[in-house]
Structure 1
Amino acid sequence: MAAQYPAQMNFLAPRKPEDGPTFYRSAAAEGFETSNFHQEPYSVTVTDARPQRDSFQLDTHGFAFAVDPEGSQPEVLEAIRAGDKETVQKLYYPLVEKLIKDHTGASRVFIFDHTVRRREASLAGKNPNGREQPAGTHLPEEADELLKGRARIVNVWRPLKGPVLDWPLAVMDCTTLQKADIHPTKLYRGRFELRGETVSISHNAGQHWYYLDRQQTDEITMIKIWDSKDVAGHSEFFFFLFFCTG
């Protein structure tokens, strides 16, 4: 039986209808509030996914695991740790493109960003950032044609040091997510300059969370963020960092 651990995660605090739609405002203009919601901690149970690691599917669960030894080569990991963007784009991007193509059957992969997340838990969740639809922003001449087919946004997570012993990545099985748990959240800048939209989620006791115990640098987590073809019944998928004391 897979190991399970108690953990705490922050979710959208209960709201009343008169509170209106949620929003977050960066660089808020004087007299304008940063947000109209707050989060509350809830106790959850997180299950070790390792015994069934290969059974999770992007289009079913919203996430999947894969083994990728090429991407964990020392020179690649060192370039990522050092923030050597040119080397990362030269050595790592092609590996990620191949990985995504192999696992999704995509005919075209475009990487528009990469981020190194440090382990300090106090930093998690403090950098909301709205973006325009990536296809239109980064591939303007091809956007209309590309969006005639299926388009997906997939995050690829990899530990830079392993095994991961604390603050592992937890992901939710999207089949356990209820529509009522999802709250579209506008992202503004200044006053009402719309920068994009994300979602906030409410806690639901039926939600199932997983993490990969002692995840190594050659083990990657793929998370489907958005899909133009709503295969799984939901097009938003969620992930958090949690602290395991077990």
Structure 2
Amino acid sequence: MSAALALDAATLDRDAPRAPSYVEATLTFIAPMAAKPFNYTFQPPDGGPMSNVVADQRRVRIHDVRPVASRMTLDTAGFALVRRPTALRDFDDEAAIRAVYYPESEAILRAATGAARVLIFDHTLRRRIDGAPDRGDGPRQPVARVHVDQTVASGPKRVRDLLPPDEAETLLRGRVRLVNLWRPILGPAIDMPLAVADARSVAPGDLIPSDLIFRDRVGETYAVRHNPAHRWYYAPHMGTYEALLLKCYDSATDGTARFVPHAAFADPTAPADAPPRQSIELRALLFG
């Protein structure tokens, strides 16, 4: 993390409302299973189940990250909380997201990582509707199961899917990272905040490759087994002027953080009348 971003992270605690040092909440993990887990993004044509995942719900302690935010970086913990306001006011305007928000986000990612090249390839808006499925007819919903968006196999595949073959193979000889930039678009975010696990507390065996089946392709993500060694964090009352960076893949194998599990969760301290969560997550490939 650059000195400027580290300084911003150090001030994040100052302006936020006072919050408990941790909350105890339920996170949904995957139970041990013999078959490879799968999730369809549409109704399977054979009428089978959309998922074979067996859920394992656990009560865990989720710590306030603000007192330690300046020490949490993408390469150490796998995530970083930064203060970077956006000039965009209308997140229903797709053209404006690409014209205004994408360049802003690219600048944030460059400053946080020093990457030589940033390729933003998509984004998702989420607006929580109580009881609605994530991939139904309405808006995308917060994902309340612990997961990582990419795996050791799907990270390089994403590069090959998005770039011409020769260019992809050249870039894959260097360092490649996949990073998500998550931001509330209605703040402060009290309803269904995002919990992230310190990557240093996650063992390789906790990450379970899982098929994510689209109509035209099969992707792979990690489901996550519960491990009492996990150390979980969240940013209470996260504002629209803040962004959370999440590392979903890193080709480096030198001990740097490579994958960060994360999930939305019901904060037991949230008031009943808290506005439903609205957020945007943007996905980017970083080279060099």
TM-score by length of 2: 0.73
AA aligned opposite 1:9: L
Unaligned stretches of 5+ residues in structure 2: 1-18, 132-140, 270-288
| Superposed displacement of residue 92, structure 1 | 1.1
State whether structure 2 residue 157 is matched by structure 1 residue 140: no
Contact persistence 1:24–1:186 (CA under 8 A): yes
Q: Quote the sequence identity (%).
A: 32
Q: Secondary structure at the match of 1:137?
A: helix
Which structure dedicates a bigger proportion of its chain to helix? Answer: 1
AA aligned opposite 2:27: M
Contact persistence 2:32–2:225 (CA under 8 A): yes
Contact persistence 1:28–1:189 (CA under 8 A): no
**In the TM superposition, what are the counterparts of 1:120-131 in structure 2 within 5 Å?**
120=129, 122=131, 123-125=141-143
| Superposed displacement of residue 134, structure 1 | 2.6
State whether structure 2 residue 36 is matched by structure 1 residue 13: no
Contact persistence 1:9–1:43 (CA under 8 A): yes
Give runs of ≥4 in structure 1 deviating > 6 Å: 126-132
Quick one: structure 1 residues 7 and 161, their matched pair in 2 at CA, closer, same or farther if it must change by over 3 Å?
A: same
Contact persistence 1:100–1:109 (CA under 8 A): yes
State whether structure 2 residue 188 is matched by structure 1 residue 172: no
Give the Cα separation in 2 of the matches to 1:94 and 1:228. Answer: 24
Q: Secondary structure at the match of 1:35?
A: coil
Partner of 2:279: none
State whether structure 2 residue 30 is matched by structure 1 residue 3: no
State whether structure 2 residue 237 is matched by structure 1 residue 222: no
Partner of 2:89: 77
State whether structure 2 residue 65 is matched by structure 1 residue 49: yes
Give the Cα separation in 1 of the matches to 2:81 and 2:257. Answer: 20
Give the Cα separation in 2 of the matches to 1:25 and 1:165. Answer: 29
* 195-204 or 29-38: bigger deviation: 29-38
Quick one: structure 1 residues 125 and 38, their matched pair in 2 at CA, closer, same or farther if it must change by over 3 Å?
A: farther
Unaligned stretches of 5+ residues in structure 1: none
How many residues are paired up?
234
Partner of 1:23: 38
Give the Cα separation in 2 of the matches to 1:150 and 1:227. Answer: 7
Match of 2:236 among 213, 234, 242: 213
Match of 2:102 among 90, 93, 107: 93
Tell me the C-alpha RMSD between the 2 structures: 2.6
